[in-house]
Structure 1
Amino acid sequence: MDNSKRTVVVTGFGPFGEHTVNASWVAVQELKKLGLGSEVDLQVYEVPVEYQTVQSLVPSLWKQYHPLLVVHVGVSGMATTVTLEKCGRNSGYKGLDNSSFCPDSQCCIVGGPDCIDSVIDMESVCKRVTASGLGVAVTVSKDAGRYLCDFTYYTSLYLSHGRSAFIHVPPLGKPYSGEDLGRALKAIVQEILELRDHAGEKLHCQHHFH
């Protein structure tokens, strides 16, 4: 077993519109305080709400860290739960970003598939986190909203062949605090890593002699 630390990159978004404090970045900073244990090197990034920045930043995170996992976190004004997104969509990006820009093609990757699913079994992660009695409601969704969240997720899924996750959080105080959201992120990321390890064991079990 390789003892080098496993790197996990978690991103939150900066302010936009009425979200002058973005709950996603608050939650990610709380996660950073909690950490993911001594085995995991956790890197966090605040992502500006700009399509063009996302297009350059997301590939650079994958290149720089070769992470085991990248988890993007965003806020949704409509969410009342912590929501695990199953897939990212390529087209339909008409909303203007903080630079009043939107892609001419209204696409993430011209010619890319319409939809890319995460290889992570979000239903399992949701069930396991819910069963752990966290005190924060977790649900699963198939629509990340066709704005910067969805755009970032699709871009990351495309680059990583599905090895990314996206989590939507509600605005602060509706109903959860930043600390609550940080705890929820920690539980979710740990479940994803555990599921990933089990999947890996299945692949390698023929090499282990008990």
Structure 2
Amino acid sequence: MDSSTKAVFLEQCGKNRGYRDTDVRGFRPDGGVCLPGGPEVMLSVVSMKDVCRRVAVEDVEVAFSRDAGRYICDYTYYLSLHFGCGHAALIHVPPLSHWLPASLLGKTLRVIIREMLEESGEVQTRSAAAPGKQQWDAASFR
């Protein structure tokens, strides 16, 4: 994430193709693809747009995003969404600064995660999870 960014971004999807840069150890997926034969885009079951609309924390902008950047974050998110059947989340956070101290970032992340859990619970309630699948709710994280 760009160090000059001053917003927390909630990522909705991970992309399968377009990985051109290597990571710090020189790794780049073969052919720039996360998962050969995988879907082009994987979406989170959590509506990040809805979560974003409901989150309000003093002096912190929380924004919706559909492009995690085709680097380590997007690669990891895509695979997490794939192996988690859409049950994954990616929150891009800016670096700590005078305008965003650790205490405010922590508060912001607690609010966001609580809203994601609420949204995830609504999604699971509406879509009757498959037998044997673990179901999470906000009480599981207290």
TM-score (ref. length: structure 2): 0.81
Is 2:92 aligned against 1:157?
Answer: no
Match of 2:30 among 89, 92, 104: 104
Letter in 2 for 1:86: Q
Letter in 2 for 1:90: N
Q: Tell me the residue number matched to 2:92.
A: 168
Deviation at 1:203, TM superposition (A): 5.2
Is 1:79–1:168's contact at 8 Å kept on the other side of the alignment? no
Q: Tell me the residue number matched to 1:144.
A: 68
* Distance change >3 Å, CA 100–CA 201, structure 1 → 2: closer
Find the aligned partners of 1:107 and 1:77 in 2 and give their Cα distance: 26
Find the aligned partners of 2:88 and 2:101 in 1 and give their Cα distance: 25
DSSP-derived class of the 2:14 partner:
strand
Letter in 2 for 1:98: V
* Distance change >3 Å, CA 158–CA 201, structure 1 → 2: closer
Deviation at 1:101, TM superposition (A): 2.1
Between structures 1 and 2, the one with greater strand share: 1
Is 1:83–1:140's contact at 8 Å kept on the other side of the alignment? yes
Q: Tell me the residue number matched to 1:25.
A: none
Q: Tell me the residue number matched to 2:45.
A: 119
Q: After TM superposition, where is structure 1 displaced by more than 6 Å over at least 4 residues in a row?
A: none
Unaligned runs of 5+ in 2: 129-142
Match of 1:185 among 109, 130, 133: 109
Structure number with higher relative contact order (C-alpha < 8 Å, ≥ 6 residues apart)? 2
Deviation at 1:196, TM superposition (A): 2.0
Calculate percent identity across the aligned residue pairs: 41
Find the aligned partners of 1:174 and 1:118 in 2 and give their Cα distance: 32
Query: For each residue in 1:17-74, what CA deviation from the matched residue of structure 2 results, as whole angstroms up to 9, or x when unmatched?
Result: xxxxxxxxxxxxxxxxxxxxxxxxxxxxxxxxxxxxxxxxxxxxxxxxxxxxxxxxxx
Count of aligned positions: 128
* Distance change >3 Å, CA 182–CA 109, structure 1 → 2: same
Deviation at 1:78, TM superposition (A): 5.0
Is 2:6–2:94's contact at 8 Å kept on the other side of the alignment? yes
What RMSD over aligned residues (CA atoms) do the two structures have, in Å? 1.8
Unaligned runs of 5+ in 1: 1-74, 205-210
TM-score (ref. length: structure 1): 0.56
Find the aligned partners of 2:80 and 2:127 in 1 and give their Cα distance: 24
